[in-house]
Structure 1
């Protein structure tokens, strides 16, 4: 695996891609961060460490607001604009690109993937609703991707526990994998009957298996 960083000009400002490149990549997994943090998130770092050895290049994407050092995320429309603007750089290496993200980044991926020609969507900690507001559902973004979609969700995520998600349906039903005891950041309590390392292995194993099926 090799690692390099690339700056990309977008209509929303300068974005940044940190490439974790597989030697013989069958896919590029492009992963956007959430509104409360960057690409150092534990799940993103775990994917970048584990997947290149399995033939998957991981591109960790920093949105322009984050690159500019701002503390508050841009509006959804601006996030989508930045993501669309850097997509040609993600597609340039050649392999099919899977749109992915955690939390707000997962929403961006879901909203834009079909139009951009993505091979699928990986949604990490999808924010199904604001905490304590299940009536404010964002399920339509998830179920409307029109592409193969995998959701990886913490068992105690206040933005949507696995049992709150609607049943998969339609021509391209999504799949959901639960990370036992994980919160919105996939943190696991010390008293849980599983470890933080187990939680991260669940995430990387689920992503690797699903991505392998996408490539046939």
Structure 2
């Protein structure tokens, strides 16, 4: 069952679109990046696949997107919007996995411990700005404080898997994929194959969480 709800936050109105499992044991909340919304292919694929495995998926549109703005606000404002939505995410009374892609992954990592998230799913974590490895955001990832799964494109200009530091998280690589998990025509995997790697990894990981 799918339905949407507007949720007021101190940063403005957010929108939560629920893809509910019949017998849910977890909620996976997914935020979007700074350059797009919840229509991202990986987010939509997870929303379609996870409910069949006992995980309700909540796609969260940040207030700036709901308001029709084209530029994301500062990280602090993104965190405020996410925190404001959290009571609605936790309302079903189930453990909540906090997640997102790109900027949404950073938000999930920064807020997970304070919000009581069961775990964090970081899709395309932007380890650094393209071409600026010295501007590392590893501290955010390493500071999540809960079990964390990173799913990263093998050719992501915001941080290739080999660039990630050692830490208490699991990393799954999508070979040849870029920041949006697109793969070139010459790649050994197809676009559908890339999506399958993502969904299979997240299904297995969420199953291990209980």
Q: TM-score range by the shorter chain?
A: over 0.9
User: Runs in 1 of length 4+ with deviation above 2 angstroms?
Assistant: none
Matched, 1:12 2:7: no
> What's the CA shift for 1:94?
1.2
> What's the CA shift for 1:167?
1.1
Q: Work out the CA distance in 2 between the residues paired with 1:41 and 1:161.
A: 20
Q: Map Cα deviations across residues 101-160 of structure 1 (whole Å, 9 max, x no partner).
A: 000000000000110000000000000000000000000000011100000000000000
Matched, 1:177 2:177: no
Question: How many equivalent pairs are there?
Answer: 210
Match of 2:205 in 1: 210
Q: Work out the CA distance in 1 between the residues paired with 2:18 and 2:182.
A: 25
The equivalences for 1:64-83 within 5 A come to: 64-83=63-82
Match of 1:130 in 2: 129
Gaps of 5+ in 1: none
The equivalences for 1:54-93 within 5 A come to: 54-93=53-92
Matched, 1:30 2:25: no
Q: CA RMSD in A?
A: 0.5
Gaps of 5+ in 2: none
Matched, 1:186 2:185: no
> What's the CA shift for 1:29?
0.2
Q: Work out the CA distance in 1 between the residues paired with 2:39 and 2:144.
A: 26
Match of 2:151 in 1: 152
The equivalences for 1:101-140 within 5 A come to: 101-140=100-139
In the superposition, the TM-score normalised over structure 2's length comes to 0.99
Match of 2:97 in 1: 98
Q: Map Cα deviations across residues 47-95 of structure 1 (whole Å, 9 max, x no partner).
A: 0011100010000000000000000001100000000001000000111
> What's the CA shift for 1:193?
1.1
Q: Work out the CA distance in 2 between the residues paired with 1:107 and 1:59.
A: 17
> What's the CA shift for 1:190?
1.4
Secondary structure at the counterpart of residue 176 of structure 1: strand
In the superposition, the TM-score normalised over structure 1's length comes to 0.97
Q: Work out the CA distance in 1 between the residues paired with 2:126 and 2:157.
A: 9
Q: Map Cα deviations across residues 183-209 of structure 1 (whole Å, 9 max, x no partner).
A: 000001112111011100000011111
Secondary structure at the counterpart of residue 37 of structure 1: coil
